[in-house]
């Protein structure tokens, strides 16, 4: 789906004899163009040449003398440059579209990470609360074991039993 300001592209298929294809590829390679860009430039230059010939035929019919070779050369260069600029504009629009897509993906990933961080902060807070409760329970048990029993009763076994139960309860939860 194209954006309103994007340039639509169409793919064409051309059959060439092997020698013409080879010469075309050599020319494009000598100019250090990519094949796609080179084909567009050559096609644009050829179109410019054909249009200039039509223009000169019209000029000759009217009888206006013109410097035909220089005008043809300028028109060919202009058509070639136009074809190249169209191709580059198409590539830049595609790169911009790809960048917008990747920017959207990064934004979505960032939102996901923020959600994870928020959830983990909540879990940390809950674990800290639980740890404070356990520390308080531990302090209570230590206080029970530190207290000495009355001389007429033997609570040492009961206190040890209660501490053991508490430790078992803690380790079963974790």
DSSP secondary structure of 137-172: HHHHHHHHHHSPPPTT---HHHHHHHHHHHHHHHHH
Residue 65, pLDDT > 70, answer no
Calculate Rg over the CA atoms of the chain. Answer: 42
Residue 124, pLDDT > 80, answer yes
| CB atoms inside a 10 Å sphere around CB 48 | 22
In the chain, domain spans? 18-173
pLDDT computed for residue 1 by the predictor: 41
Residue 95, pLDDT > 90, answer no
Considering only residues 158 and 141, tell me which one the structure prediction assigns the higher pLDDT. 141
Query: pLDDT grade, residue 159 (50/70/90)?
Result: low
Considering only residues 101 and 160, tell me which one the structure prediction assigns the higher pLDDT. 101
- Over residues 138-162, the mean pLDDT reads 61
- Over residues 103-121, the mean pLDDT reads 91
pLDDT computed for residue 147 by the predictor: 56
pLDDT computed for residue 148 by the predictor: 47
Tell which phi-psi region holds residue 143, choosing left (phi > 0), alpha (psi between -120 and 50) or beta.
Answer: alpha
pLDDT computed for residue 2 by the predictor: 44
Tens of pLDDT along 5-44?
555 677 888 888 889 889 889 988 998 888 888 888 887 7
pLDDT computed for residue 89 by the predictor: 84
């Amino acid at each position: 789906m194209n954006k309103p300001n994007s340039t639509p592209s169409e793919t064409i298929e051309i059959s060439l004899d092997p020698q013409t294809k080879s010469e075309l590829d050599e020319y494009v390679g000598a100019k250090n163009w990519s094949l796609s860009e080179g084909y567009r430039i050559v096609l644009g230059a050829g179109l410019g040449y054909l249009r200039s010939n039509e223009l000169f035929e019209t000029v000759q019919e009217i009888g206006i003398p013109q410097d035909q070779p220089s005008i043809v050369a300028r028109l060919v260069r202009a058509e070639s440059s136009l074809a190249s600029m169209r191709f580059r504009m198409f590539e830049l629009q595609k790169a911009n579209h790809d960048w917008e897509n990747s920017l959207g993906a990064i934004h979505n990933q960032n939102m996901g990470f923020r959600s994870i961080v928020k959830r983990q902060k909540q879990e940390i807070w809950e674990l800290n609360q639980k740890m404070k409760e356990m520390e308080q329970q531990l302090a209570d048990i230590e206080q029970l074991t530190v207290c000495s029993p009355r001389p007429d009763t033997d609570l040492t076994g009961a206190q040890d039993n209660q501490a053991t139960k508490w430790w078992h309860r803690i380790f079963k939860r974790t």
